[in-house]
Amino acid sequence: MSKVKKLEERIAKRKERIEKYTKAIKEERKLLKKDENTLAHVKYEDVLKKLMENQVNPDDILGKVDEVIEDENEKEESPEQNTHDNNFNRYNID
């Protein structure tokens, strides 16, 4: 009987530890997200300071950002189209 009781106590303690670890992990994830957000804000703050110091027009920067985004989107679309075309041509019988 004492063996059963000891095993039940051990299992209960393990469950308690798992619960503590789970809570600790959730808290760490929360702190990590907060730190990542803070880092991003600090980085952007530095960028904004440099832009203001150099009197850069915000519209010019937004235009450049849009160009970069368009270029990235085109690069992502191009390999897919080429792969699709190549697959189609592979099965195309003349």
Residue that is written with structure tokens 């440099």 in the block: 50
Over residues 6-34, the mean pLDDT reads: 97
Sign of CA dihedral 64, 67, 71, 72: positive
Considering only CA atoms, which of 53, 93, 40 is closest in space to residue 32? 40
Quote the mean pLDDT of the chain: 85
pLDDT at 18: 97
Determine how many CB atoms are found less than 10 A away from the CB of residue 61. 13
What letter does residue 1 receive in the DSSP assignment?
Answer: -
Where residue 94 falls among pLDDT bands split at 50, 70, 90?
very low
| Residue 21 reports pLDDT greater than 50 | yes
